Copies of this chain bind each other. A is one copy, B any other.
């Protein structure tokens, strides 16, 4: 008695996730895995294979040669080790390539999806633990690989059922050449970081920051905006021709223009018109990009920002190996894409389509055989866990149908004593509520046709 009292009064342990962490409910997890499956199928189709790396590393490994990491880390001392959780999948790739160099085939094409952690202040739609989904090709300077990255992104978006989107392309060599022409080489990284905000804060906002933070003159700022405003042309051929005319004397710019030209002209062989356009205002904040950079914007939800982005880097793993490893890669912004898909009320992925309900005293083995036959036909089917005869009261039809409708099955198959005797089943379409009795011999055919 005393111990029962104690149990009744005991305090329950906290069950909720920490702030900034999330549970995925079944319908969210279904959409999440469905999207990952579709995207990784595209990665694989293009010859990118999966890898896996640990989530925990020595701090020195994650810091690489930067000495310090600007991201807020989950970092602690384990035994005598200074360890931390990875904050992206790029640093783990860099060290992976260095650590396994001799066992990899170059150019090395990999995809990787997994969780990363950043101890930032949580905001709406931003979590401290989230999933990244990257692909990269490492060990080639070829612009064919840059173009491929764009095509992979295109196909991944299409695989998700998206059609109205634009991939905006620029080149860091063009940007750097233009900045050099304006005498901004030293401040290039800061300037690019601010220009990257154009779509969020507009020309006025950018002008203000360039002037206040970096002390640029009106003349220099106008020079920058003249360049970024080329994107108003909204036509790659026109932009490229203007770039050549205005900045083509600069050797770096000329190299960049040549790549942009190759990429857009070749892409026309396989992409719909207007899908890939040159946009001089695309900067990508990250310091390590050195060639083409690209972002993807949903035409009907531009306020979401880029849902897939990436670019070329000169040397991926310089912190870990002396071998120079240029490459190109991109990352799908999974949570943004899922939010976009949800807003659009696209057909949500549905779970297992069929449930079998046993009514009355029907032997469980009848249900097992039926389910096995449906599985055999490649159709998912659940059997409601009905109480076997002799083990207590059977679960009522009402309770079973409540479960079936809550979980969102498409078809319920009812098997009662009568149906077993007659070698039939009741087949109920749960979307339309239409129900009819059909011969068991016809069930598989009927389901296959309907699903």
Contact = CB atoms under 8 A, between A and B. Distances in A.
Given A32-B52, A58-B18, A104-B26, A351 B47 contact: yes
Interface in A296-319: 317, 319
A15 B407 contact: no
Contact of A387 (B15, B18, B79, B144): B144
B98 A15 contact: yes
A246 interface: no
A352 B48 CA distance: 8
Contact of A14 (B45, B58, B268, B383): B58
Interface stretch (A165-173, A196-204, A224-232, A363-371): A363-371
Contact of A351 (B18, B44, B155, B319): B44
Contacts of A144: 364, 383, 385-388
A355 interface: yes
A54 B23 contact: yes
A390 B258 CA distance: 9
B98 A22 contact: no
Contacts of A10: 65
A61 B269 contact: no
Interface stretch (A135-143, A277-285, A410-418, A424-432): A135-143
B23 A52 contact: yes
Nearest to A51: B29
Interface string A351-384: 1100100000001110011001001000011110
Contacts of A117: 55-56
A364 B262 CA distance: 9
Contacts of A104: 25-26
Contacts of A364: 144, 147, 262, 266
Q: Which of A109, A351, A368: most chain B CB closer than 10 A? A: A368
Task: Kindly state the interface size class of chain A when it binds its partner.
Answer: 35 or more
A148 interface: yes
A16 interface: yes
A235 to B, nearest CB: 20
Given A51-B25, A105-B407, A266-B364, A81 B18 contact: yes
21 contacts: A12-B98, A12-B322, A13-B63, A17-B54, A23-B52, A29-B49, A29-B50, A30-B49, A32-B52, A44-B351, A44-B380, A45-B380, A46-B352, A47-B380, A105-B407, A142-B388, A144-B388, A148-B383, A155-B375, A266-B363, A269-B365
Given A18-B56, A74-B78, 13 more contacts: A13-B64, A15-B321, A16-B99, A23-B51, A23-B53, A23-B100, A25-B100, A30-B50, A47-B355, A47-B382, A76-B77, A142-B391, A266-B364
Interface of A: 10, 12-18, 21-26, 28-30, 32-33, 44-47, 49-58, 60-61, 63-65, 74, 76-79, 81, 83, 95-96, 98-100, 103-107, 109-110, 115, 117, 119, 129, 137, 140, 142-145, 147-148, 151, 155, 258, 262, 265-270, 317, 319-322, 351-352, 355, 363-365, 368-369, 372, 375, 380-383, 385-388, 390-391, 403, 406-407
